[in-house]
Amino acid sequence: MDETNPIRTGRLSVVLPAYNEEESVPLAAKTIAGLLEEAGLDYELIFVNDGSRDRTWQAVQAAATENSRVRGISFSRNFGKESAVFAGLAWAGGDCCVVMDCDLQHPPEKLVEMYRLWQQGYQVVEGVKVSRGKESFFHTLAAKTFYRFLSNATQIDMSRASDFKLLDRRAVDVLVAMREKNAFFRALSSWIGFSTAQVEFEVQPRQAGQSKWSIRSLFRYALTNLAAFSTAPLKMITMLGVVVFLLSLVMGGISLWQKLNGQALEGFTTVILLLLLMGSILMICLGIIGYYIAKIYEEVKDRPRYIVAEDCGGRKDET
Ligand code: UDP
Ligand code: MG
């Protein structure tokens, strides 16, 4: 240990969600294990196979046979990255856990830096993006808008936030105990507080395979998480109602005045336009409310966030 007086030491668990990453898994296992061994840390790697359709699970099993510090769990189907992250955290036995992508877009060298900060007493170490890496103009714009909304709703600046984070055992326990189904890891891990440090990193190009996000899935992701973290759309409906009401007072006044003066317009077109406008506004508002009801319904059913079908390389309580 190169620290002269380390305040605490402990095992580091690295949680790596993997969906169709057969090429990345062996690479990630080798790179990260090599790095952590070089730094002399006690560690474990937990790969969460999120219902991949390729040979990711076989790759995880192979990595676990090769290195006894590698463990894996496999979902019964694809549950999404958030679920994979939470499963990995629940499975992790370390005194601190790092969540990172297994495509090595989060630079593994930063792991040691994060661990050192944890040793100094920080309970959450956030990786913040210096740049967003190579992304299309549309992607950047959409991400910006989304985070502006979310930052307003949560009062937490999320514009540079990432899923690359170290969490102390206490923080992990708090997150795992949360019952929310629509858990948004990136925001929740800030929301819980704790003494936080930041580590800047450059988003690396993907080492192998392709990104799992389509525009459609990103859009759904943004909507779900906005609804999970903010009731702003509901408040906007009320505001909209007030604005329309004020407008209608003005319009009503004008119409009455014209009527009394005997110069009422032949406003049939106006009536149709108003009807259409009001109809669509009402429908959209109902849709927003319905969306929240759907989310409540999902939470109330209380289904598990994920289902583990298989695991390998030993369980939490062993070793
Ligand atoms: N991932 C996952 N489940 C999914 C989609 C993605 O576990 O349904 C994992 C994926 O294997 C990777 C990480 O989440 O380790 C980030 O995914 P990706 O690299 O596709 O996203 P990007 O880096 O482009 O944001
Ligand atoms: Mg990636």
pLDDT, tens digit, 9 for 90 and up, residues 207-238: 777 776 777 877 887 788 888 777 888 888 89
Nearest atom in ligand 1 to the alpha carbon of residue 84 is: 7
From ligand 1's centre to the CA of 80, what distance in Å?
8
Lining ligand 1 with CB less than 6 A are 17-19, 21, 50, 78, 80-81, 84, 101-103, 105, 211-213
Residue with tokens 């369980």: 315
Gap between the Cα atoms of 47 and 220, Å rounded = 25
For the chain, helix, strand, coil in percent to 5 are: 50, 15, 35
In this prediction, residue 133 carries a pLDDT of 61
| Residue among 307, 82, 318 nearest 178 (CA) | 82
For ligand 1, atom 18, the nearest C-alpha belongs to 211
| pLDDT tens readout for residues 252-265 | 888 888 888 887 66
For ligand 1, atom 16, the nearest C-alpha belongs to 101
Contact residues for 72 (Cβ-Cβ < 8 A; gap 6+): 46, 47, 48, 49, 57, 60, 61, 63, 64, 311, 312, 313
From ligand 1's centre to the CA of 135, what distance in Å?
15
In this prediction, residue 223 carries a pLDDT of 81
Nearest atom in ligand 1 to the alpha carbon of residue 16 is: 15
From ligand 2's centre to the CA of 106, what distance in Å?
8
Nearest atom in ligand 1 to the alpha carbon of residue 48 is: 7
Residues of the chain with pLDDT under 70: 1-6, 132-135, 153-155, 212, 264-266, 315-319
From ligand 1's centre to the CA of 21, what distance in Å?
9
Nearest atom in ligand 1 to the alpha carbon of residue 19 is: 11
From ligand 1's centre to the CA of 272, what distance in Å?
48
In this structure, whether the domain defined by 12-214+305-312 belongs to CATH 3.90.550.10 is answered with: yes
Give the predicted TM-score (pTM) of the model.
0.80
From ligand 2's centre to the CA of 276, what distance in Å?
44
- 19 alpha carbon, closest ligand: 1
Nearest atom in ligand 1 to the alpha carbon of residue 79 is: 8
Domain boundaries, the chain: 12-214+305-312, 232-301
In this prediction, residue 299 carries a pLDDT of 87
For ligand 1, atom 12, the nearest C-alpha belongs to 101
The DSSP element (H or E) to which 70 belongs, if any, is strand 70-75
CB 19 within 8 A of CB 50: yes
